[in-house]
C-alpha cells in the first residue's frame, strides 16, 4: 500500500462510520419517540393525510415485506454487513462518495438489526405516505437509508459503466484517427526522388 493510499484510510473510515452512526442514531431516536408518544396503530397527520406518523410493529423486511422471517433477516443482515466490509476494503483509495453510500447501507442495516435483536424480531415503522386509505407501506429511517444507499449504488455503477464505455469509444476513435494520419503521411509507391529521376 502506497503512502498516499494509506493516508486516505482515516478519511474513508470517518465517512463510512460517521454516516452509519448518524443514520443509526436518527433511526433509533425517532423510533423511541414514536413508541413513547404514539400508540400502536395510531395515526398522526403531519402534512394532512399525505404524510402521517403511523405507529406499526413490523416483523417483516423493509416496507413490511416478508412477515415473520427472523432467521432469514438475520442471515441477510449478516450478508449485508459482510458486503459493506468487503466493498470498504476493495474501494480503498476511491472517492469518499463511495464510503458515504456504504455508510447509508451500514447504518440502515444496523438500525433494523438493532430492533430485531432487542424486540424479538419486531421493527418499529412509522412513516406513511398516501391519500386516505390508499397508502404506501409504512417504513422508517433505516429503511430509507437502505433504499437510498442501494439506489445510489445502482446509479453510480450505471454512471461509471457509461463513462467507461464513452472513454473506450473516445480512445478507439483517437487510435483510428492516428492510424489514418499515419497512413496518409506514409510515402506512396512511385513517389520520391527515384520516381522523379525516372521521369
As given in the structure block, the three cell numbers for residue 11 are 478519511
Domain that holds residue 150: 14-39+61-121+141-163
Residue 161 — pLDDT band, cuts 50, 70, 90?
A: confident
Q: CA-to-CA distance for 79 and 5, rounded, in angstroms? A: 27
**Tens of pLDDT, residues 93-119:** 889 999 999 999 999 999 999 998 998
Question: What is the model's pLDDT at position 172?
Answer: 67
pTM listed for this prediction: 0.75
Domain for residue 101, yes or no? yes
Number of domains in the chain: 1
Domain for residue 28, yes or no? yes
Which of 180, 21, 152, 39 has the alpha carbon at shortest distance from 87?
152
Domain for residue 191, yes or no? no
Domain for residue 173, yes or no? no
Which of 160, 132, 110 has the alpha carbon at shortest distance from 48?
132
Domain for residue 102, yes or no? yes
Active-site amino acid positions: 125, 143
Per the CB < 8 A criterion, the answer to whether 47 and 127 are in contact is no
**Tens of pLDDT, residues 23-43:** 999 999 999 999 999 999 999
CA–centroid distance for 90 within its chain: 15
**Tens of pLDDT, residues 55-76:** 999 876 555 555 556 777 788 8
Domain for residue 9, yes or no? no
Task: Report whether pLDDT(152) > 90.
Answer: yes
Which of 128, 125, 136 has the alpha carbon at shortest distance from 52?
128
DSSP code string of the chain: --HHHHHHHHHHHHHHHHHHHHHHHHHHHHHHHHHHHS-TT-EEEEETTTEEEEEEEE-SSGGG-STT-HHHHHHHHHHHHHHHHHHHHHTTTS-HHHHHHHHHHHHHHHHHHHHHHHTTT-EEEEEEEEETTEEPPPB-HHHHHHHHHHHHHHHHHHHHHHHHHHHHHHHHHHHHHHHHHHHHHSPPTT-SHHHHHH-
Q: Mean of the per-residue pLDDT values for the chain? A: 83
Domain for residue 128, yes or no? no
**Tens of pLDDT, residues 8-21:** 789 999 999 999 99
Neighbours of 130 (CB within 10 A): 15
**Tens of pLDDT, residues 127-137:** 999 988 888 88
Domain for residue 196, yes or no? no
Q: CA-to-CA distance for 176 and 154, rounded, in angstroms? A: 33
Amino acid at each position: 500500500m502506497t503512502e498516499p493510499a494509506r493516508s486516505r484510510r482515516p478519511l474513508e473510515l470517518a465517512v463510512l462510520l460517521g454516516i452509519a452512526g448518524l443514520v443509526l442514531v436518527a433511526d433509533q431516536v425517532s423510533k423511541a419517540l414514536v413508541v413513547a408518544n404514539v400508540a400502536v396503530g395510531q395515526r398522526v397527520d403531519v402534512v394532512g393525510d399525505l404524510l402521517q406518523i403511523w405507529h406499526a410493529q413490523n416483523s417483516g423486511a423493509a416496507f413490511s415485506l416478508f412477515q415473520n422471517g427472523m432467521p432469514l433477516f438475520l442471515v441477510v443482515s449478516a450478508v449485508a454487513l459482510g458486503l459493506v466490509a468487503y466493498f470498504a476494503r476493495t474501494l480503498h483509495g476511491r472517492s469518499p462518495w463511495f464510503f458515504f453510500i456504504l455508510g447509508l447501507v451500514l447504518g440502515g442495516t444496523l438500525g433494523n438489526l438493532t430492533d430485531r435483536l432487542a424486540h424479538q424480531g419486531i421493527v418499529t415503522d412509522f412513516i406513511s405516505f398516501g391519500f386516505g386509505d390508499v397508502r404506501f407501506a409504512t417504513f422508517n429511517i433505516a429503511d430509507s437509508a437502505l433504499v437510498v444507499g442501494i439506489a445510489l449504488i445502482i446509479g453510480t455503477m450505471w454512471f461509471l459503466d457509461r463513462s467507461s464505455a464513452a472513454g473506450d469509444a473516445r480512445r478507439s476513435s483517437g487510435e483510428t484517427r492516428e492510424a489514418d494520419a499515419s497512413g496518409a503521411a506514409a510515402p506512396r509507391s512511385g513517389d520520391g526522388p527515384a520516381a522523379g529521376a525516372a521521369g
